[in-house]
Structure 1
Amino acid sequence: MTELMVQTDGLTKRYGSGDHRRLAVDSVSMTVRRGEVYGFLGPNGAGKTTTLRMMLGLVRPTAGSVSVLGRPAGRPEVTARVGALVEGPGFYPFLTGRDNLLVMARYRGLPERVVDAALERVDLADRGDDRFKSYSLGMKQRLGVASALMGDPNLIVLDEPTNGLDPAGMADMRALIVALARGGQTVLLSSHLLAEVQEICDRVGVIDNGRLLRESTVADLRGSASLRLRAEPVDRALAVAMRVAGDDGVRVLGDELVLELPATAAPGLVRDLVAARVDVHEVASRERTLEEVFFEMTTTHRNDETEEALR
């Protein structure tokens, strides 16, 4: 059985009191498994950061429970095995990057040698003796990640780790996260960059308005590939497409027909179209991106909530 690094059950957080109560997280039940990169996705204000802070023991839930490494979140023995960067790095501006990490290492009871190793992993070894206030946004973010990596924690929680990084830095950060998971560590990653999540995450959880809409592997969430067809006359092409893919397996999208068929079905489809005297302009296999699925899910969810509120 796969070991669960994080498990939440009906996790809920409300802020305020009386008529001014706001539901930030609404009965979220999710799991993060050992050795995976888990992407936690949602629009701004969806409840991602509040959920992460409850996982780290920084915010007390209103209801529900959260366990980390098999124990209640926030316990000292749990915190010692978790590294985190949430809501941006916060360091002493007049200390150097290395000295800031030394402060963190001493506070956590770690040997000083972990500092240089962490700086090396995030490509800050040559800037470690510069003051934090002189760092660019991307360098500050790297230092925050370095702090989270010190001590080789079992679970690493990263909230927008590529924020402020240039394209090369983003690629390096993605490679680092994948390497961490391959080395047996678990990474819980919150990000707005869905192409990035699609590339490196094993599973994802999608949250909107405090509710967990879906938890699945990236492949299952994106679904199977489809064939995009442009042909004329459209009515004759549609009749052939429905005969091949079934009535429910064809959608009209602008001037295209979308068939729920794998790429291997393309040659047979083209033969049938030509036999029916249909002019085929283009046939292409296409997979939905995670970004398309994400916007489809969150838009549908918000439309459903609006309809429910108007009833």
Structure 2
Amino acid sequence: METILKITNLNKIFNKHLHAVKNVSFEIKKGNVYGILGPNGSGKSTTLGIVLNVVNKTSGDFEWFGGKVATHDALKKVGAIIERPNFYPYMTAKENLELVCKIKGTPFSKVDEKLELVGLLERKNDKFKTYSLGMKQRLAIASALLNDPEILILDEPTNGLDPQGIRQIRDIIKVIASQGTTILLASHLLDEVEKVCSHVVVLRKGEMLYQGSVHDMIENNSFFELKSDNKEQLKLALQNHPSIEKIEEEEGKVLVYLKQDIAAKELNSYLFEQKIVLEHLVKRKNSLEEQFLELTKN
């Protein structure tokens, strides 16, 4: 799979003491939706600023499209929104986007196509100042897509939006991704990342704590909830199983955490052989939120 962006040992120090990005390395592969997840001040926006050439790095490196083209030329294939949308308030949405087309050297025919994609075609002749915050954000996405970029970069795309606005942006991101555009979005909202991203990079205070697929992050931390009449016998049998890492009790249930994944059927059979009959057996997965809190608690 083609690598669109490779970041290697990236560092950024502000004013000689604030280490905003610490030795961060990750790759963005074509066709996926990546989330850079972290609380405010974790280095998400600084990292995006560096790869978009608006913030100077202190050390480390990054390359676009396998380093085959200079960063300046590579950025022509990138669409990005890293600040609040900024358009002319007394011009219509259509006029604003046509102006962007002139700057980017893109045909005007793209304007209606992108406005339709973000659900604003019917409002194309309304002035920008009449738009709600959510509509302004959707217009910014349309603007970033005018040159059909290979990758779309969004910094906190749903900041300040109401639940309906958040859902609209989320749905648009899914549609753009389904058309083959790679997406990289920075967010502090776990829900947003869990619902739209295939891969995640977790940052805290400039350091990378995790990178990989969202599925693996959740799947690797599944656990069992068990209940039996004879709790002590159950706990004793579980302690002797080689795949079990630790056992906890919670509200009358026994929680079983694994060293390696085993199927519910396999565990049930093992306990039945030990003459333990379960009245409750559920395999649960930690949500991305629980995983994130576990990662960042130290």
Shorter-normalised TM range:
0.7 to 0.9
Query: What does 1:21-170 align with in structure 2 at a 5 Å threshold?
Result: 21-71=17-67, 75-170=71-166
The aligned residue for residue 195 of structure 2 is 199
CA contact (8 A) 1:57 1:73 kept: no
Work out whether residues 3 and 28 of structure 2, in 8 Å CA contact, stay in contact via their aligned partners in 1. yes
CA deviation after TM superposition for structure 1 residue 123, in Å: 0.6
What is the CA distance between 1:99 and its match in structure 2?
Answer: 2.0
Q: CA deviation at 1:36?
A: 1.1
Note the 1:131-280 alignment, pairs <5 A. 131-222=127-218, 223=220, 225-243=222-240, 245-246=241-242, 248-255=244-251, 256-259=253-256, 260=258, 261-265=262-266, 267-268=268-269, 271=272, 275-276=275-276, 280=278
- Greater shift, 28-37 or 196-205, is seen at 196-205
Stretches of structure 1 lacking an aligned partner (at least 5 in a row): 304-311
Cα 1:72/1:207, change in 2 over 3 Å: farther
Q: Quote the offset at 1:84 in angstroms.
A: 0.6
Letter of the 1:8 partner, please give it: I
Distance 2:164 2:144 in 1: 21
What's the C-alpha RMSD, in Å, of the aligned pairs? 2.4
Once superposed, which parts of structure 1, at least 4 consecutive aligned residues long, lie more than 6 Å away? none
Farther off after superposition, 260-269 or 212-221:
260-269
Native 8 Å contact 1:56 1:74 kept in 2: no
- Greater Cα shift, 139-148 or 74-83: 74-83
Instruction: Could you tell me which runs of 5 or more consecutive residues in structure 2 were left unpaired when the two chains were aligned.
Output: none
- Equivalent residue, structure 2, for 1:308: none
Residues 113, 146 of structure 1: alpha-carbon distance in 2 compared, 3 angstrom cutoff = same
Equivalent residue number for residue 297 of structure 1: 295
**TM-superposition CA deviations, 1:91-148 (whole Å, max 9, x none):** 2223222222222221111111212211111111122222222222211111111111
| Alignment TM-score, normalising by the size of structure 2 | 0.88
The answer to whether the Cα contact below 8 Å between 1:88 and 1:159 also exists between their aligned partners in 2 is no
Contact 2:237 2:271 in 1 (8 A): no
Which deviations, in whole Å up to 9, do the C-alpha atoms of 1:166-222 show, x marking residues without a partner? 545544433432333333321112223323322332221111110111111112212
- Contact 2:152 / 2:181 at 8 angstroms: preserved in 1? yes
Asked whether the equivalents of residues 141 and 161 of structure 1 are also in contact (C-alpha less than 8 Å), the reply is: yes
1:16 aligns to 2:15 (yes or no): yes
Q: Secondary structure of 1:238's match?
A: helix
What's the counterpart of residue 5 of structure 2?
6
Alignment-mate amino acid for residue 10 of structure 2: L
Judging changes above 3 Å, is the alpha-carbon distance between structure 1 residues 83 and 44 closer, same or farther for their aligned structure 2 residues?
A: same
Is 1:226–1:263's contact at 8 Å kept on the other side of the alignment?
no
Return the offset for 1:7. 0.7
Secondary structure of the 2:62 match is strand
TM-score (ref. length: structure 1): 0.84
Determine what percentage of the aligned residue pairs are the same residue.
Answer: 36
Contact (CA 8 Å) 1:105, 1:111: kept in 2 or not?
yes
**Aligned partners of 2:235 and 2:247 also within 8 Å:** no
Distance in 2 separating the partners of 1:89 and 1:74:
27
Query: What is the CA–CA distance in structure 1 between the aligned matches of 2:96 and 2:160, rounded to whole Å?
Result: 20
Look up the equivalent residue of 1:285 and give its one-letter code: K
CA contact (8 A) 2:37 2:189 kept: no
In the alignment, the residues of structure 2 paired with residue 137 and residue 169 of structure 1 have an alpha-carbon distance, to the nearest angstrom, of: 8
Please say if residues 225 and 263 of structure 1, whose CA atoms lie closer than 8 Å, have aligned partners that are also in contact.
no
Deviation of residue 56 (structure 1)? Answer: 0.7
2: CA distance, partners of 1:4 / 1:241: 44
Residues 90 and 253 of structure 1, relative CA distance in 2, 3 Å threshold: farther
